[in-house]
Structure 1
């Protein structure tokens, strides 16, 4: 075929490709309409509502995992904070609230002279007030937004926020202290251990505390090996499995209106060209995406350790939805729906997903069982479960717990 003839066919080829893409997007849009904002449970777990903890088991400790609460309402009407208050009341001192990062949107806590400081303080204060009277423990992690969305000056933002929390809620633990990568260990109860990682350290640009990037994974392996017979919960901001945007999953609408991934109201139609942005974020990745080289390396190293220890629970936020995966004998949670929601694709390797505000509660019992409960504020009641599952069957024989390894660093003035 001559070059002229080939060139003459190009418009038809582009037209055919556009038609195929349009048909695919229409099918995707129709499929998404069938399940969006509805809880998805894998078929093998559809009988979840028939299963409960053993009636003879006594609750030993309970952990609320609340991620990305940085845009909570500050007028006392926030449904998530009301749900958390109900959880605290029913839990009492035998509990821990773990805030999984992105505590202040959009860019953490700005400098005192910044025009954005007042709004940021209100949001952070509302969050701290919500846990201020809780008789149990309160642990806060940092996320990419707390580090000024990962920008080079993000370390200053992190230290300001840590100092603000220390001043306004001195009983809380901001871990790991000083922005180091960790891991930090914190015993919660007999046979229950919390391990905290600062996953943002591996993807952060600019200044950050100096550390060997491989050493935290060696330390984590040592901690998990020494506590193999304990029930271990590892917390970090970034998920290791995700059916949502940071895992490369996008809606049909985002292919046509790609700028809505940046701002929900940016309805600028860019058909065909718009599909390049989801493709880029799935294959190359922005700094906060799993596909990005720094994130991908951190995730690979972390999974290499966690896959060696069955029944370890890893909890994260970052994606604004609720997800649960059971992989290689471990349990992986995404609990980032503390103040926003975003698309999450059903199916795949996920056991449960839901595009809805809420948080996970992990309940540890004296017979060794560990149960996951998904709580959502539909009725503003603590018992508004939409999914539960036993994660660890027990029994667990617990040796002495490891000592906490909290690193102290100087803080910038708030």
Structure 2
């Protein structure tokens, strides 16, 4: 090798070593910074006394025209006993004598890959998981609705549309049509449900927007592109008349959980627990690579990704323009009430106690809770709407209303 070429090679190798040192130093500094920032993790109930909101007293049932229950991410309920959040919800809805009761499961109804084919070895277990949720609807004599989430789309994989269609078919056939799976046929929606004369519910499949376009279908759908989904959501707002509007989907436009970029010190030190909860194997410094990669947008399911940012920005602009009373979702495994521009963002993804994840607060956090529960919205006969955040107590045999707020 000529002297000039050897010198160039030495310069390249020296430069690579220097860059590697810089990267290691940067990662180390980011690790320490991340661990310092995790000091604001939520533990228990958090209520922000710096944001003004109208607290609400308990309603008399004869003043309520309809109750709407919201719960998400219940896709792997306990096999040993009824999942506490489901037991609490079933008891609540069963004892609720209001004229109309509606229960919405907000996606990730079957972990981790949705409803598999009938000849799949795991099919019976997948059926058990959705059966546990359907039982709550049927035994409480409520109207029931399932919305798909990213896990229902075959872990947002190639067989996603088929997995969603299989789940729809199973739910509607097993319930003899008493429970609806919406939107139909793995379409994005939106779908409209008008509740009496006072409320319009707009729901859509947010995973359809995030799904790789090669693995989704628009055959027979009212919306055949992302732009048409947003256009039709706007149209649903415009045609609502004097009705108040509640929007439901799986993915929130804002959150302060892991999908929003927050990871506790445990997530940094014990990263394998994100995959197997029992793996308490410490990986100091190196363990922070997983949270840092998530914050760099390696998955479409995190708000740091470009595709999620694009969706959230489009939706937020629509919601800010038309001011729904609330937008509700799951996805992050926690309970949150966030003050957005002209509307409230509700995150009700605490369906499973075993899958609760890291949670912090932001400037717009009104309420936060890092454990399982569900939300109930009561539509009063005078048109007012009240939100309650409810948590299971004593394995769901009892419940506690930990937060109440007027929505209008």
TM-score, normalised to structure 2, is 0.85
Unaligned runs of 5+ in 1: 393-414
Alignment CA distance shift 1:228-1:301 (3 Å): farther
Question: 1:190 and 2:203 equivalent?
Answer: no
Could you say which residue in structure 2 is the equivalent of 1:71?
Answer: 76
Alignment CA distance shift 1:46-1:171 (3 Å): same
Could you say which residue in structure 1 is the equivalent of 2:266?
Answer: 253
Q: 1:311·1:391 contact (CA, 8 Å) conserved in 2?
A: no
Distance 1:166 1:343 in 2: 35
Could you say which residue in structure 2 is the equivalent of 1:229?
Answer: 242
Could you say which residue in structure 1 is the equivalent of 2:87?
Answer: 82
Q: 1:376·1:384 contact (CA, 8 Å) conserved in 2?
A: yes
Q: 1:314·1:331 contact (CA, 8 Å) conserved in 2?
A: yes
Which of 374, 377, 389 matches 1:374? Answer: 389
Task: Count matched residues.
Answer: 385
SS at match of 1:259: helix
Deviations 1:164-195 (A, max 9, x none): 00111121111000111111001122211111
Question: 1:111 and 2:126 equivalent?
Answer: no
Unaligned runs of 5+ in 2: 1-10, 219-223
Q: 1:147·1:155 contact (CA, 8 Å) conserved in 2?
A: yes
Could you say which residue in structure 2 is the equivalent of 1:171?
Answer: 178
Following superposition of structure 1 onto structure 2, how do residues 77-226 of structure 1 map, counting pairs within 5 Å? 77-92=82-97, 93-169=99-175, 170-205=177-212, 206-210=214-218, 211-226=224-239
Which of 239, 260, 263 matches 2:276? Answer: 263
Distance 1:188 1:260 in 2: 42
Could you say which residue in structure 1 is the equivalent of 2:344?
Answer: 331
Q: 2:393·2:399 contact (CA, 8 Å) conserved in 1?
A: no
Alignment CA distance shift 1:225-1:259 (3 Å): same
Question: 1:390 and 2:398 equivalent?
Answer: no
Q: 2:268·2:288 contact (CA, 8 Å) conserved in 1?
A: yes
Question: 1:39 and 2:45 equivalent?
Answer: yes
SS at match of 2:155: helix
Alignment CA distance shift 1:270-1:167 (3 Å): same
Q: 1:102·1:146 contact (CA, 8 Å) conserved in 2?
A: yes
TM-superposed CA distance for 1:279, in Å, is: 2.2
Distance 2:141 2:160 in 1: 32
Alignment CA distance shift 1:364-1:17 (3 Å): same
Q: 2:90·2:139 contact (CA, 8 Å) conserved in 1?
A: no
Could you say which residue in structure 2 is the equivalent of 1:291?
Answer: 304
Could you say which residue in structure 2 is the equivalent of 1:60?
Answer: 65
RMSD of aligned alpha carbons: 3.0
Q: 1:53·1:371 contact (CA, 8 Å) conserved in 2?
A: no
Could you say which residue in structure 2 is the equivalent of 1:398?
Answer: none
Alignment CA distance shift 1:152-1:368 (3 Å): same
Q: 1:139·1:173 contact (CA, 8 Å) conserved in 2?
A: yes
Distance 1:8 1:55 in 2: 70
SS at match of 1:101: coil
Distance 1:369 1:168 in 2: 36
Alignment CA distance shift 1:214-1:266 (3 Å): same
